[in-house]
Amino acid sequence: MALKSFIHVHPDSHFPIQNLPYGAFKTHSTTLPRLGVAIGDYVLDLSEITKSGLFNSPLLAGSDCFLKPTLNKFLAMGRPAWKEARDTLQKLLSSTEPALRDNMELRQKALVPMSEVEMVLPMEIGDYTDFFSSMHHAKNCGTIFVGPKNPIAPNWFRLPIAYHGRASSVVISGTDIIRPRGQGHPTGNSTPYFGPSLKLDFELEMATVVGPGNELGKTIDVNEAADHIFGVVLMNDWSARDIQAWEYVPLGPFLGKSFGTTISPWIVTLDALQPFACDASKQDPPPLPYLAEKISKNYDIALEVQIKPSGQKDSSVVTRSNLKNLYWTLTQQLAHHTINGCNLRPGDLLGTGTISGPEPDSLGCLLELTWNGQKALSLNGTTRKFLEDGDEVIFTGCCKGDGYNVGFGTCTGKVVPPRD
Amino acid sequence: MALKSFIHVHPDSHFPIQNLPYGAFKTHSTTLPRLGVAIGDYVLDLSEITKSGLFNSPLLAGSDCFLKPTLNKFLAMGRPAWKEARDTLQKLLSSTEPALRDNMELRQKALVPMSEVEMVLPMEIGDYTDFFSSMHHAKNCGTIFVGPKNPIAPNWFRLPIAYHGRASSVVISGTDIIRPRGQGHPTGNSTPYFGPSLKLDFELEMATVVGPGNELGKTIDVNEAADHIFGVVLMNDWSARDIQAWEYVPLGPFLGKSFGTTISPWIVTLDALQPFACDASKQDPPPLPYLAEKISKNYDIALEVQIKPSGQKDSSVVTRSNLKNLYWTLTQQLAHHTINGCNLRPGDLLGTGTISGPEPDSLGCLLELTWNGQKALSLNGTTRKFLEDGDEVIFTGCCKGDGYNVGFGTCTGKVVPPRD
Ligand SMILES: [Ca+2]
Ligand SMILES: [Ca+2]
Ligand SMILES: [Mg+2]
Ligand SMILES: [Mg+2]
Ligand code: NI
């Protein structure tokens, strides 16, 4: 019989007992953020569970990791501690276990309705890296910017291309995104344009949250890389295409990206995703030995992007994709990142890159969907080439299990005009 | 009469009372790092000065900013607090002031010989950015990689090009640099090379240490940018040219840089550099209004690079340059960084980019000095195209005042073979 919680969980909820994603939250009565896991429409406050002494497994008994305002300490403890926490929490929340179920005082303190919490960034992000691992996205971008002849550079098939992103401007779902100002250079103009970006876009991504890191100068083996991945989030790598196009030669994206990057509040653990593992894409040419995995896995995570224009009641689906569309795996990304000895730290964020699929309705950004603004996208009576002020962009991600979901909730942000 | 300290300072010292650069250090007896300023051959321990109650100015009296293990809190306090600290310390250290001079017990505790300390990173670096602001460097790199026709892309003259770097691998002077492994792709080869980098290089740079930051979505005006700059350090942006050349299209440098970046331990304040301010380079075309400064300043800082091969007694000077060689100013770099609303935080590091001058012996990296390995550089009886294991690279930087120097000390690192 399937594992079941004493908490009522709707069948279409993203947060059944099989999931238990981690996040950080504030309430009216708390000043510092607290750590919790999502269960149905509730957040289980892990500081209360700690204080009640219910974390009694070898690595967690007596630990203050869940009394901190961020997950970094827990992330550093690694998979054995993560497994203990998952086992303890699944047991505590199960319908057959009385310890929490029948302790009304503790339930009152530890189970906070989601509607009463404000989610905040669950970890301190030392460094944020963004990969470029969907072949369809690479091909489309290359065709738009370089031309159809050799849209994908030959290095792309040999290594997971990436760039360092900006950690300071990673924000939690729900934060307004202020339209960036900057320089653009429309073709034919000799003086650059300066002003609010005219080509604001979203990028549908997911991102790995790093667990234990590595020492500077050491590498992480690709076959052990999964032990350094705590979980994944949804990520919107907002992009100003006009700023990006003008600035990126020869050192890559900078201000076209660094005005904001949104992540979903709940980190779904790699353990919760295991039932949804699937074969990774076939790679041809075969990867060099340091990237060759004994078992090369991806995850079947259905992704959807909706846009809700200001003043409209309903949002419109603009794309449907899947993490499966990645060419390079999360573990290859992580191992490659360390092959030069670069040190990862707990809480680091590794974006996948825009996750585009092969079909026209599975493209992960407006740049591709509107072919750089050449054709408009229909949105429930209106149209879009790029994002307008007031547009809310809503990502969802979900794995369909047998009678339950393991979902990510949403990752949202509304575009607002520049300040100053 | 010139300001003079009761501490004996050699005339060629980098650290007279006119300088007073900030750093963080450890001794045999301390566990946590402490903050200090350099004076002659001593470090003045600012925690001892704080505990003695000698910081008695309005903003510093009662503050714990110098009891912290990093400068971040002090950096956030801004120029008024920095001025108070400088005034207090110049007074305390002056030959005419008895408070410290005649307090032998405090002198014993607070003045630590430099030979007895280990310097550590003086700040937590939230984000590290690297600019590309020497025209000579941009022209030489473009000629080598793109060809002599249009070596500098047109955007370069319109904005200070930059990329996000890796914060986790910024290390303090004296840290060994482990030769990175990675992929390269020598011309004509279809399968990439994998192994230790064959083209390891240094890059002669300086870097701004950010003081007060800005809120996400707000900008910093170019004419107020200097108030957000605490000071500058020497920086070696070690670069693996083979890895960089193969990976950088289209998203810029990644693993070719992120294996290590060395900074000098002493942050020379902008206040100490004021006597060495000079006119900035003329900019043509004129910068867009948001980059146009009422007063556009650079600093006359003589820079030198030496290489000391393993087993040789002496090091050889390989280049002499000057911060003056920059086209874009430090304040333009900082203002540009925020024009899209990107938030800077106290302690952020903004590298200038390789500081090459116009002459053949003023080029800031081996890529330029050896023209990508096409000609060898003479080094005291041996030669180099790129760095070999055991090579120590030593940067120095110094401003020549009237009878005194304001210097940076050295920024050094020795290349060692890969581990594992
Ligand atoms: Ca992206
Ligand atoms: Ca550089
Ligand atoms: Mg972004
Ligand atoms: Mg570097
Ligand atoms: Ni960073």
Give B92-114 pLDDT, tens digit per residue.
Answer: 999 999 999 999 999 999 999 99
Question: Residues in chain A with pLDDT < 50?
Answer: 1
Contacts of B337 in chain A (CB under 8 A): 255
User: Do A143 and A110 share a structural domain?
Assistant: no
Domain that holds residue A53: 22-120
Measured CA to CA, the distance from residue B61 to residue A179 in angstroms comes to 42
Q: What is the pLDDT of residues A102-160, one digit of tens each?
A: 999 999 999 999 999 999 999 999 999 999 999 999 999 999 988 999 999 999 999 99
Nearest to B343 among A169, A216, A246 (CB): A169
**Per the annotation, does B205 bind a ligand?**
yes
* CATH value at residue B113: 2.30.30.230
Query: What is the reported pLDDT for A420?
Result: 67
Tell me: is residue B404 an annotated ligand-binding position: no
Does residue B17 form part of some domain?
A: no
**Residue A91: count of CB within 10 angstroms of its CB:** 15
**Which chain A residues touch B289 with a CB distance below 8 Å?**
194
Residues from chain A contacting residue B262 (CB–CB below 8 Å): none
Exposure string over A217-249, b if 16+ CB within 10 A, otherwise e? bebbebeebbbbbbbbbbbbbbbbbbbbbbbbb
If 0-12 CB within 10 Å is exposed, 13-18 middle and 19+ buried, where does residue A317 land?
A: middle
**Active site positions of B, annotated:** 137
Please answer yes or no on whether B169 and A337 come within 8 Å at the CB atom: no
**Residue B420 in this model has a pLDDT that exceeds 90:** no
Q: Which residues of A are annotated as a binding site?
A: 130, 132, 203, 205, 237, 244, 248, 257, 261, 354
Structure tokens at A301: 């995570």
Q: Answer for the pair A165, A387: CB distance below 8 angstroms, yes or no.
A: no
B196: its two tokens: 């230790």
Ligand 1 center from residue A310 Cα (angstroms): 25
Please name the member of B164, B180, B348 whose beta carbon is closest to the beta carbon of A163.
Answer: B164
Same domain, A175 and A82: no
- Which of A120, A152, A169 corresponds to the end of one domain? A120
B4 is in an annotated binding site: no
Co-location of A39 and A148 in the same domain: no
- Residues B348 and B326: their CA atoms lie apart, in Å, by 20
Q: Find the A170 Cα to ligand 3 centroid distance in Å.
A: 7
Going from the Cα of B163 to the center of ligand 2, the distance in angstroms, rounded, reads: 9
**Hey, how many other C-beta atoms are within 10 angstroms of the C-beta on A383?**
12
Dihedral sign for Cα atoms in the order A23, A26, A29, A31: positive
For residue B132, say whether it is annotated as part of any ligand binding site. Answer: yes
Sign of the torsion formed by the C-alpha atoms of B301, B143, B145 and A368 = positive
> Are B97 and B176 in the same domain?
no
Assess if residue B316 is contained within a domain.
Answer: yes
Domains identified in chain B, total number: 2
Give domain status of residue A9, yes or no: no
Q: Are residues A162 and A236 in the same domain?
A: yes
CATH number where A178 lies? 3.90.850.10
Kindly identify the ligand whose nearest atom is closest to the C-alpha of A169.
Answer: 3
Catalytic residue, chosen from A136, A137, A336, A337, is: A137
pLDDT digits (tens, 9 = 90+) for B42-92: 999 999 999 999 999 999 999 999 999 999 999 999 999 999 999 999 999
Question: Is position B215 annotated in a ligand binding site?
Answer: no
ipTM (interface predicted TM):
0.96
Average pLDDT, chain B: 97
Q: Pick from A120, A149, A169: which residue ends a domain?
A: A120
Average pLDDT over residues B317-325: 98
| Same-domain status, A400 and A263 | yes
Same domain, B149 and B256: yes
Do A291 and A156 lie in a common domain?
yes
A44 and A168: one domain?
no
Q: How confident is the model at residue B374 (pLDDT cuts 50, 70, 90)?
A: very high
pLDDT confidence of residue B217:
98
B34, B138: one domain: no
Q: How many CB pairs under 8 A join A and B?
A: 211
pLDDT reported for residue B188: 76
Is residue B245 domain-resident?
Answer: yes
d(CA B54, CA A123): 39
Measured between beta carbons, which residues in chain B are less than 8 angstroms from residue A178?
216-217, 341
Nearest to B169 among A171, A253, A343 (CB): A343
- Final residue in a domain of this structure, among B69, B103, B120: B120
Report pLDDT for B237: 98
Judgement on whether residues A232 and A304 belong to the same structural domain of the protein: yes
pLDDT tens per residue across span B249-290: 999 999 999 999 999 999 999 999 999 999 999 999 999 999
Distance CA A361, CA A415 (A): 23
Q: At B186, is the pLDDT very low, low, confident or very high (cuts 50, 70, 90)?
A: confident
A255 within some domain: yes
A390 inside domain: yes
Asked whether the beta carbons of residue A340 and residue B181 sit closer than 8 angstroms, the reply is: yes
**B136 and B111 in a common domain:** no
Nearest CB partner across the interface for A254, out of B162, B288, B344: B162
Q: What is the CA radius of gyration of chain B?
A: 22
